Amino acid sequence: MKEKFLGVDVSNFTYDQLKNNIISDINEKRKSFIVAINPEKILQAQKDRGLLNLLNKATYQIPDGVGILIASRLNGGSIKERVTGIDMLLALCEQASLHDKSIFLYGAKPNVAEEAKDRLIELYPNLRVAGVLDGYVKDQEQIKETINEAKPDILFVALGSPRQEHWIVDHMEELDVSIFQGVGGSFDVLSGKVKRAPAGFQKLGLEWLYRLIKEPWRIKRQIKLPTFLVKVWKSKK
């Protein structure tokens, strides 16, 4: 159920398949790790073998970004739906509240995870939040103990990429957690510190355009999309 783009695996599961798989992973006590893949990360992995191996270690590499959908089409693949990091986080919180599983929010600036928690409880009143911890605590032992005492089923890690992915791989085994997801700036969005594109932009696949208007420096990141598509196209031959 994976497609490869320049050596990086991407899962072709839809939200519904992911939701079912993850609840089974928790019930059967399997550890899994979700990472959001976009063209920028794939290009970065071309220059960094360690990052490439790290991304391929994940259980579910979700296709975050229209660039991946276009690349899948170029390769004759079957990835038709974008699965964004923040929507996956919301889908998991919904599942957690339906199946009585707990979550933990680790990362972002002090108070942000707390505010993200309040927003999630507004959305899913039955959600069990086992704990929150900001991303600037330095003591790794303290972080490990806090999470292990809370024993969440799902841990969201918001330390930015690829730092959060390295952190997850380095700590997965010693943490009493089933599902790990790296969520980048999602707590900032949930807390209201950073606004997401209006629904209309999202539906049309133009979230990138909205972000470009709001944060013009993003052009440096977005300009990489054509490079990525050309590389995928060439790698076919």
Chain residues that interact with ligand UDP, rule: CB under 6 A: 107-109, 135-136, 158-161, 184-185, 187-188
CB nearer to ligand UDP: give 7 or 185.
185
CB nearer to ligand UDP: give 94 or 134.
134
Closest CB 76 distance from ligand UDP, rounded Å? 30
Closest CB 59 distance from ligand UDP, rounded Å? 19
Closest CB 32 distance from ligand UDP, rounded Å? 20
Cα 54 from Cα 70, distance rounded (Å): 24
CB nearer to ligand UDP: give 101 or 211.
211
CB nearer to ligand UDP: give 136 or 233.
136
Closest CB 160 distance from ligand UDP, rounded Å? 3
First to last CA, the chain: 23
Q: Which of 65, 99, 121 is nearest to 178 (CA)?
A: 99
**Alpha carbon 44 to chain centroid, angstroms:** 17
The CB-nearest residue to ligand UDP is: 135
Burial class of residue 196 in the structure, from the number of CB atoms within 10 Å of its CB (0-12 exposed, 13-18 middle, 19+ buried): middle
Per the listing, tokens 């072709």 go with: 12
CB-based contact 18:91 (threshold 8 Å)? yes
